[in-house]
Amino acid sequence: MHTESYTSRQGRLLVFGICVGLAVLVWFVFGQTRTYPFINFDDPEYVYEVPEINHGLSAHGLAWAFTHTPSPNWYPLTNISHMLEAQFYGMNAGGYHLTNVVLHTLAAILLALVLWQSTGALWRSAFVAAVFAIHPLRVESVAWVTERKDVLSGLFFMLTLGAYVAYARKPALLRYGLVLVALACGLLSKPMLVTTPMVLLLLDYWPLNRGQRSEVGGHTNNAQRWLKLVAEKIPLLALSAVSCATTFFAQTAAESSLARLPLLPRIENALVSVITYIRETFWPTDLGVFYPHPHGHLNGWLVLISAALVVGISWIAVVVRRRHAYVLVGWFWYLGMLTPVLGIVQAGRQAHADRFTYLPQIGLCLLTTWIVAESTAGWLKRLEILAATGTVVIVALAWTARIQTGYWRDSESLWFHTIAVTRDNAFAHASLADLLLRRGRLDEAISHCQETLKLRPRDADAHNNLGLALLQKGAESDAVVQFKQSLEIDPDHMNAAPNLAWILATSQNPATRDGARAVELTERVLHRAGHSNVIVLRTLAAAYAETGRFSDAINAAEQALQLAAAQGNSGLAQDLQRNIANYQMGLPLRSYVSRNDRAP
């Protein structure tokens, strides 16, 4: 293999210039996010409405990060990073976005350096890193605060690769320990890194060629050397196994309805997703924040073609491995790192997601870059042609990604765009309805709720949103019907329960009020959530007051007041002060509608 040497001062300046160039590219695409707000998809539930996070860094917060999960996954380092931001930025979303951009920049630079050190090909490595840095599929991972887990785990993944390359070149216990530490930190940031030991084995094959080197097993044959390399990964595999077990345990408590989807439809969707991601890599259009799951209604021919392509490309990669080892490494890097998020074990309601390509796509980029470079080796003025082509590709991707990033400037733009580029997207309509409700645009919200229910009549979220809109329009009895329908579909619905409880606790109609039921619903939500929520506490206070438990009502309302103040919600804080004054006089609340009447 030809190795490019850049040991001179001029060479070091070139490498430094490439690193600066990568940083500039990332800033060009994602720098705009520093002015963006949080969005209404997961950011409230997983970041700025979580008390342990928005209170900043503390001993209690650190303990909580390792023992609780505000989301269906366990990633304590990600939550700790948000605590640090809350300590310095408060609830200023721009600071959180800036952190994502910085972490992604570092990951891209490290990728370029690690690939260069392991392959000796600086310009190819730089191109792969540039595509990784600014591909439109990166937008979701970088522009979405909730996806901190992608960029943070990505940085630790690159550090794991770098530590492993150093260890492979000169094995030592300390160097292996650094690999273990880096991987552990990556898994504590996002469990998707569980297949990293497999990636390291692929790197052993190429470009490190450890299966052929005499220092791995001395005079033993290839099979024995590879057995030693596999055995070498046992501590890393043990870390991955622990992460898998922890993730499975955490997701069991948050199991979605799709988890009950039969295995065959999940496998079919996984096969189609593998090819979908390849298509989006080379033609990144119509990208949205959520793609509806087909629920077993995929075209049979599409599934068969996808399966044939996956099997066929895998077979080709194995056949050509001796002459073109990078094909095998790149393809199985892509396929292996994608496996945990293909939905065979379903987590979430999406068919696929742009963020799932964050690390797997590196394998495709590596494969493609080396194929193009090797196949054009005999061309006249090859370097000039490749340089010009590569520049055009990077410029096109960067411009497309910058436009795609613009859709994340606020929740409304994001959801309208997602509805425009996807079909029958009930989740997007429901999420847009939720946003419009918060902005008091009730008629538009009702329209999107109704559109959601046309697509999915048994959508508990849509019934809940419709109930909220009707309640704010003064149609209390109709709202009760919608909240009850939501709870019939999903008895543990975390929004419909406190919304119904609010009416049962505060209705002006004595026939509607049921304080005991309101207390039951609200206490159950608090217990299941595992952390305090300002609206649920406010509702619980009203329910206590309706049952005559005014001291409990005051305590709950004061807790809610503290949270509202910490979140900077002055309107809700004033409302709670009035509520407390009522309870101190022994008066329950009687319903009035406020734009702050929102479930968690």
| Statement to judge: residues 136 and 33 lie in one domain | yes
SS percent in the chain: helix, strand, coil, step 5: 75, 0, 25
C-alpha distances in angstroms, 230 versus 157, 197, 253, 351? 19, 9, 34, 33
- How many CA atoms are closer than 13 Å to the CA of 287, on its beta-carbon side? 29
Domain count, the chain: 2
**pLDDT for 476-510, tens place per residue?**
999 999 999 999 999 989 889 999 999 999 999 99
Phi/psi for 315 (5° steps) reads: -65, -45
| Statement to judge: residues 441 and 533 lie in one domain | yes
> Who's near 350: CB < 8 A, 6+ residues apart?
290, 291, 292, 293, 343
Q: What integer pLDDT is reported at residue 593 of this predicted model?
A: 47
| Statement to judge: residues 385 and 422 lie in one domain | no
Over residues 392-407, mean pLDDT: 97
In whole angstroms, give the CA distance from residue 579 to residue 542.
8
- Is 595 part of any domain? no
Q: CATH number, domain at 553?
A: 1.25.40.10
Among 366, 392, 409, the domain-final residue is 409
Among 409, 424, 449, the domain-final residue is 409
- Residue 474, judged by CB atoms within 10 A of its CB (0-12, 13-18, 19+), counts as exposed
| Statement to judge: residues 554 and 469 lie in one domain | yes
- Is 300 part of any domain? yes
| Statement to judge: residues 84 and 67 lie in one domain | yes
Q: What integer pLDDT is reported at residue 10 of this predicted model?
A: 77
| pLDDT of 598 over the 50 cut | no
Over residues 334-360, mean pLDDT: 91
Whether residue 207 has a cis bond before it, omega within 30° of 0: yes
| pLDDT of 257 over the 50 cut | no
- Is 1 part of any domain? no
- Is 470 part of any domain? yes
Q: What integer pLDDT is reported at residue 1 of this predicted model?
A: 44
**pLDDT for 260-315, tens place per residue?**
678 899 999 999 999 999 999 999 999 999 999 998 889 999 999 999 999 999 99
Q: Which two tokens stand for residue 36?
A: 């963006």
3-state secondary structure string across 423-470: CCCHHHHHHHHHHHHHCCCHHHHHHHHHHHHHHCCCCHHHHHHHHHHH
Least confident of 1-10, 439-448, 457-466: 1-10
Q: Which amino acid is located at 246 in the chain? A: T
| Statement to judge: residues 327 and 439 lie in one domain | no
Q: What integer pLDDT is reported at residue 279 of this predicted model?
A: 97
- Is 380 part of any domain? yes
| Statement to judge: residues 384 and 427 lie in one domain | no
**pLDDT for 554-573, tens place per residue?**
999 999 999 888 877 888 88
At residue 378 the predicted structure's pLDDT band, cuts being 50, 70 and 90, is low
| Statement to judge: residues 394 and 485 lie in one domain | no
What is the DSSP track for 224-286? HHHHHHHHHTHHHHHHHHHHHHHHHHHHHHT--GGGGS-HHHHHHHHHHHHHHHHHHHHS--S
Which residue do the tokens 């009020």 mark?
513
Over residues 385-414, mean pLDDT: 94
| Statement to judge: residues 164 and 240 lie in one domain | yes
- Is 590 part of any domain? no
| pLDDT of 256 over the 70 cut | no
Do the Cβ atoms of 257 and 201 come closer than 8 Å? no
| pLDDT of 173 over the 90 cut | yes
Average pLDDT of the chain, as a whole number: 90
At residue 164 the predicted structure's pLDDT band, cuts being 50, 70 and 90, is very high
Measured at the CA of 113, the angle between CA 109 and CA 117, to 5 degrees, comes to: 170
Domain range enclosing 115: 9-409
Among 360, 388, 409, the domain-final residue is 409
Cβ-count burial 363-379 (b if 16+ within 10 Å, e if not): bbbbbbbbeebeeeeee
At residue 381 the predicted structure's pLDDT band, cuts being 50, 70 and 90, is low
What share of the chain has pLDDT > 70, as a percent?
Answer: 92
| pLDDT of 85 over the 60 cut | yes
Chain-centroid distance of CA 364 in Å reads 21
| pLDDT of 408 over the 80 cut | yes
> Who's near 554: CB < 8 A, 6+ residues apart?
541, 580, 583, 584
- Is 471 part of any domain? yes
| pLDDT of 61 over the 80 cut | yes
| pLDDT of 450 over the 70 cut | yes
Q: What integer pLDDT is reported at residue 461 of this predicted model?
A: 85
**pLDDT for 508-524, tens place per residue?**
999 999 999 999 999 99
At residue 592 the predicted structure's pLDDT band, cuts being 50, 70 and 90, is low
| Statement to judge: residues 189 and 220 lie in one domain | yes
| Statement to judge: residues 64 and 211 lie in one domain | yes
Q: What integer pLDDT is reported at residue 412 of this predicted model?
A: 96
| Statement to judge: residues 307 and 419 lie in one domain | no
| pLDDT of 249 over the 80 cut | no
- Is 3 part of any domain? no
The pTM is what? 0.86
**pLDDT for 201-219, tens place per residue?**
999 999 999 977 545 545 5
Over residues 534-559, mean pLDDT: 93
Over residues 536-551, mean pLDDT: 93
**pLDDT for 4-53, tens place per residue?**
556 677 788 999 999 999 999 999 999 999 999 999 999 998 998 888 89
Q: What integer pLDDT is reported at residue 323 of this predicted model?
A: 93
